Amino acid sequence: MSSDMNTVHDWLNAHLTESVEELAQFLRIESVSTQPHHSRDVEKAALWLRNAFTAMGMSAELHPTGGHPIVLAEWRGAPPGAPTILIYAHYDVQPVEPLAEWTSPPFEPTVRDNRLYARGAADDKGQLWIHLMAIRAHMACHGALPVNVVILVEGEEEMGSKHLRPFIDAQCGRLAADCIVISDTPMFAEGIPSVLSSLRGMAYFEIRCQGPSSDLHSGQYGGAVRNPAATLSRILASLHGDDDTVAVRGFYDEVQNQAPADRARIRALPFDEELFKSEIGVTALAGEKDFEVLERLWKRPTCEVNGILSGYTGEGAKTVLPASAFAKVSFRLVPAQTPQEIERLLASHIAGLAADGVTTTVRMLHGGMPWSADVAGPAFDAAQRALTTAFGRAAVIAGSGGSIPIVRDLEDALGAPVLLIGFGLVGENAHAPNEWLSLNNFRLGAHAIAELFVELVQLPELAESHA
């Protein structure tokens, strides 16, 4: 660590409390992108963020889209020959329901046990804020960054990034970078920093079964009228085999075999299955028997029922034969599956389960391609060094079962390597009640990103020699 960096690290330590308070302001904005009644909040978060970028010495603009705006910030004052780093993040958050399960309200950031609890704390406002702290530390100590930085922040990640794709294509030149850095994932484990080598893709559907034109008395009609909740249950049950594989015909046809080296690296990771189970409160895990837990999570495609609603679900008993039923069902994909192919296979699977008296429709809500990286390059080396310095422990290469569809789009459009450096933790409840971010990771993450900027200065030369 150079003495130049000592002042940066000192600055970060000295400004920790202040930074958490600023982040809390950001977290208070209820920017739930998928819920129309929050659309003004989403807009507000974009404006707030633009102002934050401007205040820290970057030029920043709001780009309207057909949906929620994109915030683009730039600082291009690095010495000639220095690389350009593109940081991608999102300012939108997941819905907060079921609200009753939150210990403190989702939009009132609260610190407990050195964790910051709020919707968006980990996914992704808190992780974006780590980058902003690193930038401010460099600026405050040296009046400049060692690299050029472009920050691209969208408001539609949780709804499929529909408007970001055309924006990237249109602004390709302006977004051009030597390396893309994204912090929107958990670390491999507490104390073990990591860079990701893969993400699963996604195909998310709503399946709706419509029976009679309105709810019926289950006594006066039951036995002669097909029940759409029963039909939906049969469809959902048909999606898996008894061995926990996905039972949609053709689902595994495009799945590539894992490389032996990849498999060996995963099996060498210090995964604690008992801790994993206890963190989520289950006594047994499930899934495909031929694969280790981490392989099931990172390298195997899956199907999950995300929600079901039909009929009477209040207290007590109501003898209703429901008029309709719907489920939200999503598939996680691995190379070389595509959302379009899964949509076709699912439609055909469901058509095979047609039952007189109930009409079933399937609609894809969003999709994204899977992604995997070549980890043998100078960008990955730089990231591992920066993380190791900040956390005082060797960083590992890991996978993720989640989906950030835009990763692949950015990589394809800009032709630059993507570093997925997450500072969340397993159990952070990213899409559930009581989401939190470790304040220790918040601090160490900022040190790591500040180091990363320095480590990436020589990237252009190294990339040339690697190629």
Which of 39, 65, 171, 233 is in the footprint of its own copies by CB under 8 A? 233
Provide the edge-to-edge strand list for the sheet that holds 418-421.
59-63, 70-75, 148-154, 84-90, 179-182, 418-421, 194-196, 396-398
Question: Rounded distance, CA 240 to CA 256, Å?
Answer: 20
Task: For its own copies, give the closer residue by CB, 207 or 450.
Answer: 207
Task: For its own copies, give the closer residue by CB, 58 or 182.
Answer: 182
Which of 2, 3, 257, 283 is in the footprint of its own copies by CB under 8 A? 283
**Total residues in contact with its own copies, by rule CB under 8 A:** 99
Give how far Cα 102 sits from Cα of 99, 435, 436, Å: 6, 9, 11
Q: Which residues contact 437 (CB under 8 A, 6 or more apart)?
A: 115, 116, 121, 122, 126, 127, 423, 424, 428
Is residue 281 involved in binding its own copies (CB under 8 A)? yes
Residues 304, 306, 309, CA angle at the centre, nearest 5°? 130
Question: Rounded distance, CA 404 to CA 161, Å?
Answer: 9
Could you tell me which stretch among 83-91, 134-142, 220-228, 378-386 binds its own copies (CB under 8 A)?
220-228
**Cβ–Cβ contacts within 10 Å for residue 211, how many?**
26
Token pair of 109, please? 């950031």
Pattern 369-408, its own copies, x by CB under 8 A: -------------------------------xxxx-----
Which of 214, 257, 270, 274 is in the footprint of its own copies by CB under 8 A? 214
Is residue 186 involved in binding its own copies (CB under 8 A)? yes
CA quadruple 6, 7, 11, 14: dihedral sign:
positive
Could you tell me which stretch among 22-30, 107-115, 259-267, 315-323 binds its own copies (CB under 8 A)?
315-323
Could you tell me which stretch among 132-140, 171-179, 302-310, 456-464 binds its own copies (CB under 8 A)?
302-310
SS3 397: strand
Question: Which of positions 126-185 make contact with its own copies (CB under 8 A)?
Answer: 158-160
Question: Which of positions 48-107 make contact with its own copies (CB under 8 A)?
Answer: 94-95, 97-98, 101
Q: How far is the CB of 189 from its own copies (least distance, A)?
A: 13
Is residue 304 involved in binding its own copies (CB under 8 A)? yes
Residues 433, 434, 439, CA angle at the centre, nearest 5°? 150
Which of 15, 16, 35, 458 is in the footprint of its own copies by CB under 8 A? 35
Is residue 7 involved in binding its own copies (CB under 8 A)? no
Is residue 125 involved in binding its own copies (CB under 8 A)? no
Q: Which residues pair with 371 in a beta bridge?
A: 199
Task: For its own copies, give the closer residue by CB, 162 or 466.
Answer: 162
Token pair of 128, please? 């974006």
Q: How far is the CB of 358 from its own copies (least distance, A)?
A: 8
Amino acid at 131: H
Question: Which of positions 248-277 make contact with its own copies (CB under 8 A)?
Answer: none
Is residue 363 involved in binding its own copies (CB under 8 A)? no
Q: Which residues contact 280 (CB under 8 A, 6 or more apart)?
A: 427
Task: For its own copies, give the closer residue by CB, 193 or 211.
Answer: 211
Question: Rounded distance, CA 301 to CA 140, Å?
Answer: 46
Could you tell me which stretch among 40-48, 71-79, 304-312, 442-450 binds its own copies (CB under 8 A)?
304-312
